Amino acid sequence: MNDQTSSRFDRAAGPVYFLALLFLALPLMDFVMNVWPLQLDKVNWRYGAFGLAGGFLLTPLLGLVMLMVASILFENRRVLSITAVLGTIVALGLILLSMAFILDSLQMRSAVPVSQKRIFDAGVLKALVKDVTGAICAAWVAFGSFRSLSVLAPFKRADGSPLVVGARAEKARS
């Protein structure tokens, strides 16, 4: 790719990053508005909020993938680093929330009439599948982002020289 094509290609970075951030933020805002006010001390609220979360998960995950792909294409190590950390946080958070959801589900199940237990169990399984596969996707994004960081060119100073840290900086100057 020549410099002119690269320059035109780089002009797309802003809108792509902005769209990816919208994909991340807007569904999360919608989710919070649907479960507000937070009632973390109530089992039935936690159960319902977690079950609802799966329906809002796909679009933010798409935004996370968009951030990863765009930061690799535009060779933006800073955004790729943020994506790697964000993917890790999302994956770990979804796994922890899934474990808490299992406990809440067991507590809620005792109040479900016998005739409705099969439907209840199917709903629990559906929510867990959505959120665990979301955690797998987020972990995959994190793993891919961390691996891609090792391939991209290192950070550079404003003058174009590589950023050198520590004792090796003295050797680079000599």
pLDDT digits 0-9 by tens, 113-130: 999 999 999 999 999 999
Domain holding 59, by residue range, is 3-173
H-type alpha helices, 36-76: 43-73
Three-state SS for 156? Answer: strand
Neighbouring-strand partners of residue 156: 162
Task: Compute the residue count for the chain.
Answer: 174
Confidence (pTM)? 0.79
**Count of structural domains within the chain:** 1
What phi and psi, each to the nearest 5 degrees, are found at residue 113? -60, 150
Query: Among all chains, which residue has been given the structure tokens 């399984």?
Result: 125
Q: Is 162 helix (H, G, I), strand (E, B) or coil?
A: strand
Return averaged pLDDT per consecutive 10 residues of the chain, 174 residues in all.
61 90 94 91 90 90 95 91 96 95 92 92 93 96 94 63 52 50
